Structure 1
Amino acid sequence: MTLDPQVPLRVFHLARRLTLAVVSIAWLHTAGDAARRRLTSRHLTAREAAYAASLPLPSRRCEWLAGRLALKHSVCAHQLRQRGHLVTNREVRVDAIPDGMRAGKPVVDAPVEVGLSHSADLAVAVCGPHAVGVDLEHRRVVPPLLAELLTAEGEPHSADPERRLLAAMPLPLRWACKEAVLKHYGFGLRVDACEVALTGWRPDGRFSWRAGVGLLRHAPAAEGGLKESWAFEIDGYYLAVVST
């Protein structure tokens, strides 16, 4: 897997059930108005195109378009691979949960679940048969207070190799893991990231975690963990993907 802002679109299949689509925000910025209009006409519904046109800032329009394209490509690729269904991007309608604890979580009119994240020059979407969560972070300096919080997890001298490897996990990747879990449940940062305690990281990228009382209050099923929890450092980005 690569994460290259110079490449407009990449699609990856993670494990057997998950499909990941990466769209370059940077490429959309430099493609020009005519190219963006063509992409909008080809891939968005009339309602989506009208919403994109209503966004006042060009940078926000590019970011929003990248996210919509990533979601649609992930759904189409997943449906083709898993079900043999050929679906076009314009046929995939993307909405968001309007209110409540899960407000803003993206949903589509297909028998799948989706997640979305933006960071720096990229938008990444994941699609799977059950609830998913994804977070992408770029390489950056973590603020001191957050660094102190994140560093508390992992034991460099532990007898458990997974805890030793967790101690070496880059801080932005630890944050991505926590956010991906919270986004899986649709809460985002409405629930404190401290409610997701990382407990281990394996060489193949799988990570383990434990739900705190605050998360369990809203999502009792979190006590059982998740079937898929992946964390990778790729080309200066930090990617975490989780799924039931």
Structure 2
Amino acid sequence: MKAIRVCWAEAAVPGGAVTLPGGGAVTTEWLPVAQVRGDYAAAPAAYSAHYLGPAELSVFARITVPKRQVEWLAGRVAAKRLVCLTLERLGLAVPPSQLAVLGRKPGGRAGKPELSAPPGGGYGRGGPPELPITDISLAHTLRFAVCGLASGGRVGVDVEPLRSFSPALLRTVFTEREVALAESVFPAFDPAHRATALWVVKEALLKAYGIGFAHGWGTARLRGAGPAAAVFDINLPAGTDPGDRVHIRYGRLTDHIFAIATVTPWATDGHQQKGQLRAWD
């Protein structure tokens, strides 16, 4: 287990770009799932062909539950809108269908997907440029699809509806100390929703490290916390860079709680290292 110090703060509804300590930025895209559902229903073939490449269309067709299908599509639409906007600022007009967000396993719940672009596709003679993107994260609920895009670090996003944890569920996913800390460090939330806030914060933090709850509920444990900082014990895989600075911004969006975690990596030779594009549903 690695002790990770996190600076955290309550934030307003996220949007636009947030500058990372040490350079770089994180941008987010929030997309109502109902909007995607309506647009897709109006022209299913045209809408899916605009946003999805051949491999994604194959995965999309294998998702048999309509609700899950639309949520999966909404996550890809949010991601591609954000990535295409980033490319446009570089003077690159890339159709969304030329980008792919695919998991490593077949099926709608494929775990951690990766964002890729076809080599040489639509970029001219120079081939695909070095993109100013170091990490990408996805989350969705019945109402929202969210994408976070990082330049110069890692990002993890999560969003959950406000809900109450039963006593049995609390005992399953949190320690008694964590429950007590949640009661003291999330005063802006109703007591019944403070466990949800801690859950969302943990999810975003673990997504930023690219592991999720890979080792069970104990993958991340809140050891200590105050209003401006916290310490998490995290079971990081060997070789994982714990980062130079870790920040979490959390808050409430209508009847949801969101969290955006950012990890600024240790600089090597004075420069941030650009990692592989990746995402986590």
Higher share of residues assigned helix: 1
Deviation at 1:201, TM superposition (A): 6.2
Letter in 2 for 1:107: E
Q: What are the within-5 Å matches in structure 2 for residues 51-200 of structure 1?
A: 51-80=59-88, 83=90, 85-98=92-105, 104-109=111-116, 111=131, 112=133, 113-129=135-151, 130-147=153-170, 149=174, 150-154=178-182, 156=184, 163=185, 165=187, 170-198=194-222, 199-200=224-225
Mark the runs of 5 or more structure 1 residues left unpaired by the alignment.
4-11, 157-162
Asked whether the equivalents of residues 13 and 252 of structure 2 are also in contact (C-alpha less than 8 Å), the reply is no
Structure with greater contact order relative to length (CA < 8 Å, sep ≥ 6): 2
User: What amino acid does structure 1 have at the position aligned with 2:100?
Assistant: R
Q: Is contact 1:28–1:36 with CA below 8 Å preserved after alignment?
A: no
Aligned-residue offset at 1:177: 0.6
- Following superposition, the deviation at residue 66 of structure 1 comes to 0.7
Counterpart of 1:238 in structure 2: which amino acid?
I
How many angstroms does 1:32 deviate by? 5.7
Structure 1 residues 34 and 95: CA distance shift in structure 2, 3 A:
same
TM-score by length of 1: 0.74
1:24–1:121 CA contact under 8 A, matched in 2: yes
The verdict on how the C-alpha distance between 1:98 and 1:239 changes in structure 2, with shifts beyond 3 A counting, is same
Residues 166 and 201, structure 1, Cα contact 8 Å, conserved in 2: no
Cα 1:229–1:217 shift into 2, 3 Å: same
Segment of structure 1 superposing worse, 135-144 or 226-235: 226-235
Structure 2 distance, partners of 1:123, 1:89, is 17
2:241: which partner in 1? 221
Cα distance in structure 2, aligned partners of 1:120 and 1:207:
31
2-structure distance, mates of 1:77, 1:122: 20
CA distance in 2, matches of 1:132, 1:234: 19
Distance apart, 1:178 and its partner CA: 0.5
User: CA 1:28–1:34 in structure 2 vs 1: closer, same or farther (change >3 Å)?
Assistant: same
Which residue matches 1:243? 262
Is the partner of 2:111 in helix, strand or coil? coil
CA shift in 2, pair 1:80/1:226, >3 Å: farther
2:61 partner SS: helix
TM-score in terms of structure 2 length:
0.66
Give the aligned partner of residue 9 of structure 1.
none
- C-alpha distance in structure 1 between counterparts of 2:165 and 2:249, whole Å: 21
| SS of corresponding position for 1:170 | helix
1:47 to 2:55 alignment: yes
Work out whether 1:211 is the aligned partner of 2:219.
no
The answer as to 2:253 corresponding to 1:230 is no
On the 8 A contact 1:116/1:135 being kept in 2, the answer is: yes
For residues 226 and 144 of structure 2, the distance between their equivalents in structure 1, rounded to whole angstroms, comes to 25
Cα distance, 1:172 vs structure 2:
1.1
Q: Which has the larger radius of gyration?
A: 2
Go from structure 1 to structure 2 and tell me whether the alpha carbon gap of 1:77 and 1:200 turns closer, same or farther (over 3 Å shift). Answer: farther
Q: Distance in 1 between matches of 2:73 and 2:186?
A: 40
Identity of aligned residues (%): 25
Q: Is the 8 A contact 2:159 2:258 kept in 1?
A: yes
Partner deviation per Cα, 1:87-145 (whole Å, 9 max, x = no partner) = 3312222122459xxx7222212642211111222111111123221111111122223
The 1:72–1:209 alpha-carbon spacing in structure 2 relative to 1, beyond 3 Å, is farther
RMSD: 3.2
Deviation at 1:29, TM superposition (A): 3.3
- Structure 1's consecutive aligned runs of 4 or more residues displaced over 6 angstroms after TM superposition are 166-169
Whether the 8 Å contact between 2:138 and 2:148 is mirrored in structure 1 is yes
Number of corresponding residues: 220
Shift, 1:30, TM fit: 4.1
What one-letter code is carried by the residue in structure 1 that aligns with 2:206?
Answer: L
